Chains A and B, each alone.
Chain A
């Protein structure tokens, strides 16, 4: 049995910066991440990638290096390749490394498990060759691989980033099929006006990417709708409507993306309440300004607490660490508040551009309310029409459709169908997503073999005996 003052799940910017800040305050920290290298999604495998691919990845990547190097601290025990599958009594965390299960108990727990790409159910999205734009980025960062003969489809800053990275590497996409319209952008400008200027840095980054794309000559279609991916055994083409007519572009890979949403599996598995955030069009966990949840020992930071981007994630990680250090008596209340003050100012600046981005790049409507035949649950192959049918026989919430038609019961446990099911049911029943609710998430949050699980039975016995 292991113990620590703080157990952190997730070694992305939020988890890494929290681990370091807590360690600096004198707390012992166990940092768990299923990846073999620290970095999280944005800074994936940063130590290796920065050496060989810095030119393609862009300057931001270097911030990640700093965060990873800061993990070298006597108080931090980073367990790599550790997949967390269950949390119990709020701070006892069970995980598996290389086929062996163990658990560690913290005085406090920080959940920093980041974001997921928003599910984008369009016809053909389950075909081999259809991937997320994030996946293409991971291939590049982690493996130095570039997707050739690809079309990018959807919307949002990450779509542009991936496109730009592909251009820099000399494998530009065949086309960029964008679902937002000029009207969306105009509406966002009108709504925010000069207010968004506060977030100028992020917006400038976006504009930079756009001009990069323009000069590379990638074909762009905006206001695209009726997106469908074609192919029998593998992607062969993408079809969509744009510029007033049906378009077809042949390609062997389609990279889909329309924003990221908080990955709420871990927090939900211990019953942290969530609420619907209309602007992010997703559920976010309830927490106070320190990231503390309804369970007093459990905190949450980074994109898993609501999307804010990498820099905001690092800041919220630090803020949570300060609160935890204060809670455990490592620093005084006054020290905590003083240290948090500048962080909150930075955070406000980081978040200033978010509402603008959310309005300018709304999720693709065709994927929020897919046609009846479209598969929405990849694992159990449940269609949008099935969900609408279950609504007719009385399903008001996703737990009822799960019982009736199995969506959310497969190995991904609803990660890529949950939001769609909520939206479909809400629309069919004339309820809000908030009132419709979400799947009840149960352990394991990642699969674990029965053998690994059984191996824990003895450790649990031992722990009981020592406790007696």
Chain B
């Protein structure tokens, strides 16, 4: 599930906070863009499509493609439109997961 990150982060001294994705803990920069921070942490794929079960990661980073969908507190949301907060519990959207498993 975790692949090597393809992103290099320019240092900015932000605080790291704990979030979980699919049950695993990650340390991400507080207040950072959630999709970006997840990518930089090497998290992926974000989801599997409900149609064919294909893996997907962010594509547009501007809220238009919906490939960064993740589930947080039972609501499916665009990770690229959210900020990192301490304790976020993130999972892959359920419908796609079901078909993938």
Please tell me whether chains A and B touch each other in their complex, using a CB distance cut-off of 8 A.
yes
Residues of chain A having any CB pair with chain B under 8 Å: 34, 36, 41, 52-53, 83, 99, 116-117, 126-132, 134-135, 138-139, 142-150, 169, 171, 233-234, 252-253, 263, 378-381, 410-412, 415-416, 446, 449
Interface residues, chain B, with chain A CB atoms under 8 Å away: 3, 6-10, 12, 32-33, 36-37, 39-40, 44-46, 49, 51-52, 54-67, 69, 75, 81, 83
Q: Among B9, B62, B67, B69, point to the contact of A144 (Cβ < 8 A).
A: B9
Which residue of chain B lies nearest to A145 when distances are taken between CB atoms in the complex? Answer: B7
Total number of residue pairs linking A and B with CB closer than 8 Å: 114
A145 and B63: CB pair below 8 A? no
Judge whether A142 and B33 touch: CB under 8 Å: yes
Check if A132 sits within 8 Å of B75, measured CB to CB: no
A147 neighbours in B (Cβ, 8 Å): 6-7
Contact present for A52 and B10 (CB under 8 Å):
yes
* Complex A-B: 19 CB contacts under 8 Å: A34-B81, A36-B83, A116-B62, A126-B54, A126-B56, A134-B60, A135-B58, A135-B59, A139-B39, A139-B61, A143-B36, A145-B40, A147-B6, A148-B6, A171-B8, A234-B55, A378-B59, A411-B66, A416-B64
B56 to chain A minimum Cβ distance, whole angstroms, is 6
**Chain B residues, CB < 8 A from A148:** 6-8
5 extra interface residue pairs, beta carbon distance < 8 Å, beyond A134-B61, A416-B60: A36-B83, A52-B10, A131-B61, A135-B62, A169-B10
Contacts of B3 in A (CB 8 A): 234
For B6, B12, B56, which residue has the most chain A Cβ atoms within 10 angstroms? B6
**Which residues of B are found within 8 Å of A143, using beta-carbon distances?**
9, 32-33, 36-37, 40
Contacts of A233 in B (CB 8 A): 45, 55
Tell me the smallest distance from the CB of B76 to a CB of chain A, in Å. 8
A412 and B36 contacting across the interface, CB-CB below 8 Å: no
Across the interface, do B57 and A128 meet the contact criterion of CB distance under 8 Å?
yes
A128:B45 contact, CB within 8 angstroms: yes
- Asked whether, in the complex, the Cβ of B57 is within 8 Å of the Cβ of A415, the reply is no
Which of B10, B57, B59, B69 contacts A411 (CB under 8 A)? B69
Tell me whether A128 and B61 are in contact (CB under 8 A). Answer: no
Contact of A41 among B8, B40, B51, B62 (CB under 8 A): B62
Asked whether A116 and B51 contact (CB < 8 A) given A146-B8, A146-B10, A234-B3, the answer is: no
